[in-house]
Amino acid sequence: MKVAAAEALADLARRDVPDAVVKAYGDQPLQFGPEYIIPKPLDPRVLFEVAPAVAEAAVESGAARQEIDLAAYPEQLEARLGKTRELMRVVINKAQRDPKRIVLAEGTDEKIIRAAYQLKDQGIAEPVLVGDRETIAEATDRLGLAFDPEIVDPATAELDRYADRLYELRRRKGVTRGEAADLITNGNYLASVMVETGAADAMLTGLTYHYPSALRPPLQVVGTAEGVEHAAGVYMLAVENRVVFFADATVTQSPGEDALVEIAGHAADVARRFGVDPRVALLSYSDFGSVDTDRTRRIRRAADRLRADPDIDFPVDGEMQADTAVGEDGLEAFSFAELDAPANVLVFPNLEAGNIGYKLLQQLGGAEAVGPMLAGMDEPVHVLQRGDDVADIVNLGAVAVVDAQE
């Protein structure tokens, strides 16, 4: 068992170190070599990488005093690190059963390269990096990654077919063939057209762009799904042992009644992707008509339409205040409410409220966040937040793979 522990530690030390561990040790580079030969004590991977190796050795040697499901044991240990880990493991397991091709539009960024390595190493996806080939190769070598990724270099790749397709899609929007040839060398447009034409199954971008700038090309090229007018950005937030989904926190600034109805459906679909049965609340500063204004009536009408829709198979109600929606006894005063338990999907009245709410909960409440997950697109496209860690990129990559599978 000691040998198993030593070998597991040695293997872990050779892997790419999570950003959270690097930050905990003063942002000093941690890469296998004379200064770093064993994982740091605060590396959470030690729990679910080393302990299973010891347990397996104990079973094989006969020293174990109880039966252990060696396949499930690592996931049980990982779940102890938080609800986010537990739910992401559901998504990652789905992704690993049928990995898809993900095109990463910012392929020269070091975080993207490290995330691509992990996506490939963990069997989650087949990553395709868009960017300068020499820059990517140099970074891969410098980071010590045993990785030979697929690369599409706009400077050398044959892009005429993609430019033709972009021209076909945008020629009635003021784009000439020459302009399409220029635009296709932009990683976001190239990745979008690759997904739209089926050359890739999913797309990630946004790490080095403001969100609207990263979202614009896929909206123009891929667009929303048939019958969908409004895409939505959904976050999964875990606080202690509780999970709540926030929408829309990134896309629709001032959703009207129709948009609120669509956003609620998108958010419920995302919750189900994580194995969560949605209970949806449309939020306001009013409880069920306690304030009667154009703004509160808009939310109330959206909730009424959702409840009346025979295709909606989840409980939904509103308008209601946030404490009414999520408090353990918040709904007791409203016996008529459709929700019989606190909501786990919150639809905000506008983008400002949603964005502010999730960031306050993350910064002051210590919530762990996954997302934003872009829902309602015709093909799997997700836009990262600037400054996301490698783990965030890998998580969103797994979500994109599951999107592509479905």
Over residues 227-241, the pLDDT tens digits come to: 888 999 999 898 877
pLDDT at 239: 84
Q: State the pTM of this model.
A: 0.81
C-beta separation of 267 from 349 below 8 A:
no
Helices (H), 25-121: 45-61, 73-79, 83-97, 110-121
The pLDDT assigned to 119 comes to: 94
Q: Tell me the per-residue pLDDT of 336-365, one tens digit each, with 9 for 90 and over.
A: 888 989 999 999 999 999 999 988 988 888
Q: Which domains does the chain have, with CATH numbers?
A: 2-81 (no CATH), 99-223+386-405 (3.40.50.10950), 232-376 (3.40.50.10750)
pLDDT value of residue 134: 93
Per-residue pLDDT band for 197 (boundaries 50, 70, 90) equals very high
User: What is d(CA 260, CA 306) in angstroms, rounded to the nearest whole number?
Assistant: 10
In this predicted structure, what is the pLDDT of residue 47?
Answer: 67
Residue carrying the six token digits 């739910």: 87
Banded model confidence at residue 22, pLDDT cuts 50, 70, 90? low
Angle at 145 between CA 147 and CA 78, to 5 degrees: 100
Q: Lowest mean pLDDT of 139-148, 166-175, 201-210, 393-402, name the range.
A: 139-148
Phi then psi for residue 82, to 5 deg, are 140, 160
What does the pLDDT average to over 114-129? 93
- Taking alpha carbons only, the member of 348, 279, 360 closest to residue 319 is 348
> pLDDT tens digits, residue range 257-308?
999 999 999 999 999 988 889 999 999 999 998 999 999 999 999 999 999 9
| List of residues 6+ apart from 283 with CB closer than 8 A | 299, 318, 319, 320, 321, 322, 325, 346, 347, 348, 349, 353
Farthest CA pair distance, the chain: 72
Residue 330 confidence (pLDDT): 81
Residue 227 carries which DSSP code?
T
Predicted confidence at residue 194, as pLDDT, reads: 95
